[in-house]
Each structure stands twice: as structure tokens, then as C-alpha cells.
Structure 1
Amino acid sequence: MTVHQEDAELERKIVELLPSSSGARTRKGWHSTGTVELAAKLVDASGVVEKAHEWRCQDDAWSRAKRPVKDEQRDPGFGKRGGRPAMFTTRQVLIIMLLHSVTGEPLLIKELATTVHERLNPRSRELLGLPADPSDMNCGQVYTNFRRALRRFLDAIDSAPHSTGRRLRYSEVLRIRAMRAEESENLAEKSSRGSWVANQLLHMTYLYLPKEVRANWRGTISVDGTAVPVWGKAGSPGAKKRTLDSMCSPEFDAGWHSRTAEDHNGEKNKDHNGDKGRKRLKRTQEEFKWAYEATIAVMAEDPDCVTDFPKLALSVSLEKPAGRVAENAMVCVGAIVDRGLPINYFVGDRAYLPHSDVDKLQGPLKALGYKFVADLRSDQLGIQGQHAGALLVEGTWYCPSMPTALIEASIDHLNKKISDDTYQRLIDARRDYMLQTKEKADSNGVVQMRCPAMGPNPTVDCPLKPQKQTSVGLGIPKLRTKIIKPPKHPDRICSNRSSVAFGPDAGANEAGLKYGQAVPYRSKEWHTLYQTPRSTIEGLNAMVKDEGKGALGSAGRRRARGYTFQSLCVAVLLAGANIRMIDSFLAKPIKTTAERIVARTDRRRRKQTLDSYRQRANAPPLVGPAAEAAN
């Protein structure tokens, strides 16, 4: 056989291996039937499909109500949907997206369509209600119809409509924003729908966790934001260089994301925030990303937890970077509270606490029953406020006679005037001067507190309130810290016989509510309550951005454009990460406990209460493009 004959024979064999003209052959195998079944059960149990149908009917009625009378007279069928039946349903779209998230595959529409066409076995196709024989459809038909089905679902929750997916001139962007402003009420409704869908999918993964394991979590959450880069041309011209003809990013609702040192814990870099508390990290161009920012609330441990549990993402909200930080945090918290989950500690970095406005974050959180644990900037150290003579020092109320060395311990430590060991001893020494809680806070947030020299267990001896000498046993006198210089003009905390009420408005400019913390700042309890939840949320962010799994930080794995699509992708990727965490956790032996929580009933009436901070029912804060349209 000649060389030419050998080449011809080899060419013939290769041609036989090539796919037919009906479509390209996938190199990937079938998806597990068990994983498909799990995704189907979670989507079916969520109720999202039924809600989507209900919303579409409402939108159709709204569209018909807006049409001119002359159109109705000309054509009675105007505004009604027609055409052939859809090839794919909302249920099938959500199941396939969740399936890809669980298995760590990209959320590209082409890949999703390929799964529908070639990667489902007969049992899986039956679960999804797909035709048993996919050969009747080619890849192009599947892609087009799958994309349309996704678009139909997104239309019902799209709070950022009129996006074209291509670069636009700034004049066109202004026209789109003006159109959104005209339908701001409708967009606010769709924003609430989108938030409900995203958080309902996450809630289904929480319910996927066995009940006895869920009982181990006591309600502590850690909240943080993470960048969600978008695909395509990055950036839009700044205000100084921008003209009507300037070209903007296809994702003009996104923004530049950069991480600043002042918003995060400074344990690794103790002089990170400089003298003014606003020094930024030295950043390179690579540290700026054109992205959205996903605010995520995650389950976290606290000292009350006695057994382990997987740290799941409970809720999420998407926004332009550094925009409406407090509002997005409250959207996440609202999704947790609305679903009846437990309430305990709220842990966030400096971007949330105490930086946020009291009316937007601290007040609503306190009204819900959350306790705060937060870090402080250097310009927030030391005395933060006063009430009835008591001093608010770094989130805790103290005796007015507390020595200056203890008051300024954090400032001296920041300026490197004292060592770490000395600083910790001074923090511990503050305890004797802490006001004592006579009664727990009532439902209105009012706490009865008394001087540390009073009560059954005084911690200081003060000449203004002499106490009988007590003993610890065997006649040995109990030693207490002595107040040497009491106030010359004592206020109520020193003169009242029993206690003083500390309400939500305690301190100038509501300092007690803005800066108050559940435990003394930088104490051992603080380190446990702050650092562990903060490590938890950072760990979740790293896991969901793992390139081998969800790859949330890779824009190329979810290239379809639009705020609403990106919001859905973030929720689906977090749901997939939750499922993987649960499966990994259940593979290990666990111990469980249960506890009953009894709530106290408030029988008193106060002038200053937390009612003024409570959010209106069914009216969560507006976030994202819908908030811009409303303004």
C-alpha cells in the first residue's frame, strides 16, 4: 500500500468518527440521576415556578390595563399572548441551572442547552418532563428556545429592564434610566420578586439540612460583600470626562469594585487605618474590577453553640459596589426573619457597623432583636458618648470614674505606646467599671442599668455609695477596685438609688445605638464573637469563588448580561455551594442538641421605643437599579 493510499484510508476512518451535521457531539458524560432528582425536588418545593406563573398573569393584566382604549376597540385580542407552545418551561430552566451549580459547571446558556440536548439519561429527562428522544431537536433549536424560556422567567423579576447587552452611548444610558424612572413602582415590585426568588432558593438548601442539625445554629449571622465581576468591556467614563457621546459598558448598572482597608478587620495590620482612620490600601490596577457586589448573610458560630453545623449562605442581595450597604444588609436580614429563622448576633465589618446610618441599619436590626459585634476605626476609639453621667467607651457603658489609662487603652495601643500584653490587661481591667445590667432589655430596647458599686455583686468601692464589706468565705474580705476620684457633680448614674433606664436614644446622636456592642470591645469574648464569624464569611466567599467549583469570581462562566441574570446566577451558585457543604458535612459523624427559647412579654409603655425603627411590613429597602429609578 502506497503512502497516498494509507493517507486516504486514514482520512476515511477519521471522517467516520466525526459527528453528523445534526450537531456537535459533546465530550462530557451524562449527569447523575440522583443530582438531577435533588435539583428537581428543591425547585419544586421552593414554589418559585408557581410564583413565576402568577407574576406573569399579573404583568399581563397590568399591560392590558395600560393599553389605549382605541387598541381594545380595534382588536379585542390585543395584549394577549399567542403563538406555539413554549419548548421549555421555567421549571426546566431552574433545574438545569441548579444542576450545573451543584456539579461546578459554567452557567453559560450554550452549556445549559447542551445538557438539555445531550447529557440527560432517559430517567432524568422523565423527571424534567422532556421528550425521551432528543434527536428530534438540533442544538440550535435547543439553544434558542432555552434562551427564550430563561428570558421569559427573567422578565417577571427584571428590575433593570431595557438593557441591550451591548455598549451604549451615555445619551442612550440616560434615556434608559429615564424610562425606568417612569415605571419605578413596577420596578420596585419586580425587585421584591427577584429578591424573593434568590433567597427562596437559598432557603430550600437550608431546609435540605436535617432538622436536628439546623437546631445547632442559634441565629448568629455574618454579613459581607463580595465582588461579582461581569463579562464584557469594563468601565464607563467618569463624570469629568463623560459626554453624551461617551461609550459605556454593556453592564452600565455595575461599577468599579475595590477593597479598602478601613472596612475590614485590622488584626493582621494593626496600624492599617492610619491617624485619620481613612487610609486606603495601596492598590494596583488589577485590584479594580468592573463588577456588582453581592451582600451575603451566612450562618456563624457563637459561644452558645455546642455542636458543629455547615455554615450555609442564608440570603443574598446584589448591588452596585459600595452602594446602599445598609439597605442590602437589611434585605438579607429581612429574608432571614421573614422565614422564621432564629435571631442572635449580627457581625459585620466596618462598612456595616458602626459606619451605617442608625435609621437604616442599627435601629432596624435592634428592633428585630439582633445584638451587635463590630470593629472600630481609629477615630471611633475612646469615649463615644455619655448618658446620665455614664461613659460610652467603644460600645460599652462604664462608670464616669474609670481612669484615663483604661479609657484611652485602644488609642495608646494603636499609637504603639503600650504592648499587646499591657493592652489586654487594661481591657480586662475595664470590667470592674462596667455598669451592671439590672434587667434584660425589654421589647422596646430599654435596659435598666446601675452603678458598679451597687447591687448584690458590686465590683468597685465608691465613696458616693458605701457598701458593707462582704467576704468570699472563711471570713476573707472580698477585694474590690476602689474609686479614688468620684465625680464632683454626680449625675443620675451616681445619685439614683436603684438604676437608670438606657433606651435606644441613649447618648448624643443615638451613640448608644450606633456604637453599642454585645460584649466589651477587644475582650476575649469579642475576639471569639467577631473573628470566628468573619472567618466564616471570608471562607464562604473563597469557596464559592473556587475556580474548580462555582467560580463566582470568573465572569467568563456566566456571560449573559443584565443585572437580573447576574442576581439569579449568584443565588444559584450559592445554592450549589450550600448543597456541596451539606453533603460533605453529612458524610461525617455529628452530635445534636435542642433548646427551647422562651420570649418575655413587655408590660410597660415607653416614650422612646424601637417601634420608630421597625420597617414596614412587606416593604423591604429598595436596592439595585430599582432604587435608582425610584430616586
Structure 2
Amino acid sequence: MLTPVRWGKGRGYLTSFRGDVGIDTTAVPVFARPPRARRSTGEMIASTEITAGWHHSAGNGPPEYGYSATLTVAARTRPASGSFPQLALGLVLDTPHKRIGANAITTLKPLAALGLPTGFAVVDRAYTDQQPGHFAQPARQLGYQLALDYKVDQRGVQGSAHGALLIDGSLACPLMPDRLAQATTGLDDAAIRTPSDELAALITAREPYLLRLKQSTNAGGAIRFQCPAADTSPSLTCPRFDRLHQRGPLRPAAVDLTDARQRAAHLAAKPRVLPPQPDLKAGELPKICRQHTITLGKDDLGHLDKFRQDLPYLTPAWIRTYKPVRANTEGINGRLKGHDLDLGDPKTRLAHGRVAQTILVALLVTVADDHFLDQWRHTQQPPDEAAATSTDILEIPTEHVDRAPPTVRSRPPPAP
């Protein structure tokens, strides 16, 4: 099914693709009847599709008996420049709710061989629940950054490492005010989808307390973060940091009060951390307070590493990335099932068995991708494929055209 992707890349149609992908599973119902009880005796009768199962969607619809197709989609965020066709880049068919994270990684691995860039991998909460070694860590090893969502009981303070709090997937100062740290705790999905002005203000107020990225992930999976009070341009001020690192008062500097940037850059305009009084001794403080930076190893968060993401949750940057990619992902699922070769119609796939179903689904997705490419070409009209003009057509001069009838008689038609 990668043939249309290779063809589109070779023709330059994916030049504007920045590597952002959406990953999701969609139901692929089968024609076979599900397991059922015999009316006369109550004995259970197995289905002829023994590897199929019940696919439960995130919505309120009834479950469907069949397989789950994991699809990776070439997605576009709103600030992206240029246009490219929306294609399915990868497919794995499996029993519903089995190997969710591993199947997603399987769809991502061939993309590197195609020379496609890596950007954000945007997924729903089914992938957030996967063990770090099944999805989050392999995805990062492939070069992807993660944009995640959480269930109601997963929002807010999720854990800690080296004294830094893990809050909605981001590491933060341990002295972040509790009102900010618990801003999303217990909020339902409706409040998250349409944040109120109060919640948006709390999310914005969190940002100065978040640890800064000092060094990207190395070959061993470790990543370095910096205390927000460190460096020459801190995002907040901290008396604990000043005491431990012997930072004296800064020299007075003139500030142009008419310049908004200068006003915002001055330390007096930044939040100030309030340590407890009396404060802990130096030897009792967490590592993030004793050092300018900390190194977060691959296993330092344990199973909580599945929650860590690369954009602060519910910030404008997260919204600009997460929502458009999820819309692209749901859109291509709808297009595949609204296509002439309906992926959701089991009558187009009557063969039994997961292998046969995988081949048939792959053929359907390949044909659909080819149609999507054709539609995009007609809509965008790439310059190298403009409609041929009359000068592009080879014409034979009229004097060279032989209009005489053939001299050799052809054979008569066969007898009836």
C-alpha cells in the first residue's frame, strides 16, 4: 500500500509534508457472524472469523465485530505552508484492542526508509494508556515528538522525577502553586474540548514554571532539562535558587516602560517562587533545586513516562498541533468508509481469515490513496502536470497521411 506514497513523494507532491502524522484505529467489520448461543441448547457457537473481536469505538455507537485497522495518516497543522495530499501512510490489521502501541510503531518504521521527515505523532487516549516500551519510547527513538490527550483521572499532577513534578505530561518546578498544578484535575472532556477563559488563564500562568529543554534526547534515550530560574534569562525568580547558587542582586538597568518586550523581560515582571518558611536545608532539597539542570533517563519516570509529551497540555501550541491532526485523522477514516470501495462494508471483503482480510483491506486503502492523489492533482494542478496544450501534441502532416484503403482483403468473419 506504500506504492501511492512512493509515487507521490517521487513526483514532489509531499514536499510540504513536515512529518506530522496522526495515528488511530478504525473498525473493519467482517461478513461472518459473531460468536452466539444456540437457541435450543444455549451452547456457544464460534465464529468462522476466529481471530476477530469486538471493536469498541470512543463514541457512543455499538461495538462492531471484526478487526481493527491501525492507520497512520499524513497530517497538516494550521501554520503549515504549502499543500500536500492527505494519504494513509501505514496500515496494520489486527484483533481489536490487541498490540495497539506495537501496531502503531509498525506503521511508522517504513516511513524512514522512504525518506519522509519526522514531526509530531498525534494520538488519542488509547495510546496514552500503552506501556512506555510499547509506544512512547519507540516513537521517540524513531525521531517523533508526541502530542497526547488524557483521561479524566490522568489529568493534573501525574508523578515526579528528581524532584520535578510531572504535570499533564510536562516537567515543572516543584514549587509551582497548587492552584496552577491542579488546574486540570478532575475536569471532564467537555471542559477540555472548550476551555473556559479561567482555565486558559491558568494554563498560561503555568508556563513560566515549566522546565526548559536543555538538550534533546541522546542515543540512550536521556534528555536534559533546566531549572526555570537558571540561566541569564530565567522565566521566574526563586530565592531558593539565589541562596544555593549565590546569585546576588542584579545591577539596576534602565527599562523603557513604553516597550512591552522590555517590560516583560525584566525580572520584576516575572513570577516569584515562594519556598516554605523555614526552607529545607541544602542536603534535603531535590536534585532539580540543587542543580541547574537534571538528566532524565529513559526509565526515571517508570511507567509514568507514557504521559510525557513535547508540548505543554492545552497551550495554544498544543491546540494548534493536536486538534488539526486529529481532524485530519478522523477525516481520512471517514473518507475511506465513504469511498466507493467502502472500508466499512464487509460485503467487499468476503474472504475469511486475518491474512486474507489484511490483503483485501490493503488493496482497498491503496486504491483509495490513488484516488486521493488523483483528486489532489486535479485540485492543486501541480505546475509540472499542467494540462497539455496543442503544441505538446505530436501532429502528423496531412501530406504524410495515407488515406488509400488497404489493398489486402481481410479474413471473413467466422461462421456462426
TM over 0.5: same fold? Answer: yes
Q: In the TM superposition, what is the alpha-carbon distance from 1:305 to its structure 2 partner?
A: 2.9
| Structure 2 equivalent of residue 355 of structure 1 | 129
Match of 1:493 in 2: 288
Shift of 1:566: 1.2
Higher alpha-carbon deviation: 329-338 or 532-541 = 329-338
Indicate conservation of the 8 Å contact 2:152/2:189, yes or no.
no
Aligned to 1:427: 203
Q: 2:310 aligns with which of 479, 500, 518?
A: 518
5+ long unaligned stretches in structure 1? 1-201, 262-280, 593-631
Q: State the secondary structure of the residue aligned to 1:552.
A: coil
Indicate the SS of the match to 2:13.
helix
Distance in structure 1 (CA, Å) of the matches to 2:197 and 2:363: 46
- Residue 550 and residue 252 in structure 1: after superposition, are their counterparts in 2 closer, same or farther (change >3 A)? same
User: Of the candidates 166, 176, 200, which is equivalent to residue 402 of structure 1?
Assistant: 176
Give 2:99's aligned residue. 324
Aligned to 1:554: 345
Aligned-partner SS, 1:544? helix
Kindly tell me: are residues 399 and 291 of structure 1, through their superposed partners in 2, closer, same or farther at Cα, counting changes over 3 Å?
A: same
CA distance 1:257–1:444, shift in 2 (3 Å): same
Q: Does 1:533 align with 2:325?
A: yes
Query: How many angstroms apart in 1 are the aligned matches of 2:327 and 2:5?
Result: 20
Alignment of 1:80-479 (within 5 A): 202-209=1-8, 211-236=11-36, 246-260=44-58, 281=60, 287-302=62-77, 305-352=80-127, 354-411=128-185, 413-414=187-188, 420-466=196-242, 468=250, 473-474=255-256, 478=266, 479=269
Q: Tell me the amino acid that sits aligned with residue 318 of structure 2.
A: W
Q: Which moved more, 1:552-561 or 1:414-423?
A: 414-423
Shift of 1:298: 0.8
Change (3 A) 1:331 1:415: closer
Q: Following superposition of structure 1 onto structure 2, how do residues 589-604 of structure 1 map, counting pairs within 5 Å?
A: 589=380
Is the contact made by 2:225 and 2:296 (CA closer than 8 Å) also made in structure 1? yes
8 Å contact kept, 2:217–2:223: yes
Q: Kindly state the Cα deviation for residue 303 of structure 1 after the two structures are TM-superposed.
A: 6.2
Q: Which residue of 1 aligns with 2:366?
A: 575
Pairs aligned (count): 359
Within 2, Cα distance between the matches of 1:549 and 1:222? 23
The change in CA–CA distance for 1:237 and 1:537 in structure 2 (over 3 A counts) is farther
- The SS at the match of 1:213 is coil
CA contact (8 A) 2:35 2:45 kept: no
| CA displacement, residues 563-615 of structure 1 (integer Å, 9 cap, x when unaligned) | 222111111111111111111111234789xxxxxxxxxxxxxxxxxxxxxxx
Q: 1:346-384 CA distances to partner (integer Å, 9 max, x unpaired)? A: 1111111x2001121112112222111110011111111
Report SS of the residue matched to 1:360: coil
CA distance in 2, matches of 1:417, 1:325: 27
Distance in 2, matches of 1:555 and 1:297, equals: 22
Change (3 A) 1:556 1:375: same
Say if 2:297 is the partner of 1:503.
Answer: yes
Partner Cα separation in structure 2 for residue 453 and residue 482 of structure 1: 9
Question: Separation in 2 of the partners of 1:550 and 1:539?
Answer: 16
Mark the CA change 1:471 to 1:552 in structure 2 (over 3 Å): closer, same or farther.
Answer: farther
Q: Residue 413 of structure 1: CA displacement?
A: 4.1
Deviates more, 1:487-496 or 1:393-402: 487-496
Partners of 1:469 and 1:259 lie apart in 2 by: 60
Deviation at 1:288, TM superposition (A): 2.5
Matched residues in 2 for 1:549 and 1:472: separation? 69
Counterpart residue identity of residue 483, structure 1: V
Offset of residue 335 of structure 1: 2.8
Question: Against the structure 1 CA distance between its residues 485 and 255, is the aligned structure 2 distance closer, same or farther, given a 3 Å change threshold?
Answer: same
Partner Cα separation in structure 2 for residue 417 and residue 344 of structure 1:
28
Structure 1 residues 416 and 556, CA gap change in structure 2 (3 angstroms): closer
Q: CA deviation at 1:472?
A: 8.3
Note the C-alpha offset of 1:213.
Answer: 2.4
CA contact (8 A) 2:145 2:309 kept: yes
Deviations 1:299-358 (A, max 9, x none): 112467311211100110111111221221122122323444322211111111x20011
Shift of 1:258: 2.1
Q: Is the 8 A contact 2:15 2:84 kept in 1?
A: no
In 2 relative to 1, CA 586–470 (structure 1 residues): closer, same or farther, beyond 3 Å?
A: farther
Contact 2:55–2:96, Cα closer than 8 Å, also in 1: yes
Contact 1:307/1:591, CA 8 A, preserved across alignment? no
Change (3 A) 1:426 1:290: same
The answer as to whether partners of 2:23 and 2:122 remain within 8 angstroms in 1 is yes
Per the TM alignment, residue 471 of structure 1 is displaced from its structure 2 partner at its CA by 5.7
Q: For residues 28-39 of structure 1, what are the structure 2 equivalents within 5 Å?
A: none
List alignment gaps of at least 5 residues for structure 2: 384-416
Amino acid at match of 2:66: A
**Do the aligned partners of residues 480 and 470 (structure 1) sit closer, same or farther apart at CA in structure 2, a change above 3 Å counting?**
farther
Q: Report deviation, 1:227.
A: 0.9
Match for 1:254: what amino acid? Answer: A
Q: Provide the residue aligned with 1:50 in structure 2.
A: none
Question: Structure 1 or 2: larger helix share?
Answer: 1
The two structures have a TM-score, normalised by structure 1, of 0.53
After superposition, what is the alpha-carbon deviation per residue over 1:191-216, rounded to whole angstroms, capped at 9, x for unaligned?
A: xxxxxxxxxxx211012215432121
Change in 2 beyond 3 A, CA 1:376/1:470: farther
Cα RMSD (Å): 2.7
Q: Which amino acid aligns with 2:334?
A: A
- Determine helix, strand or coil for the equivalent of 2:92: strand
Shift, 1:234, TM fit: 2.8
| 2:275 partner amino acid | K
Q: Deviations for 1:468-513, whole angstroms, at most 9, x for unmatched residues?
A: 26768438661111112356342121121x3211222233x242x3
Q: Residues 156 and 182 of structure 2 are in contact (CA less than 8 Å); yes or no, is this contact kept in structure 1?
A: yes
What residue in structure 1 maps to residue 354 of structure 2? 563
- The CA deviation at 1:463 is 0.6
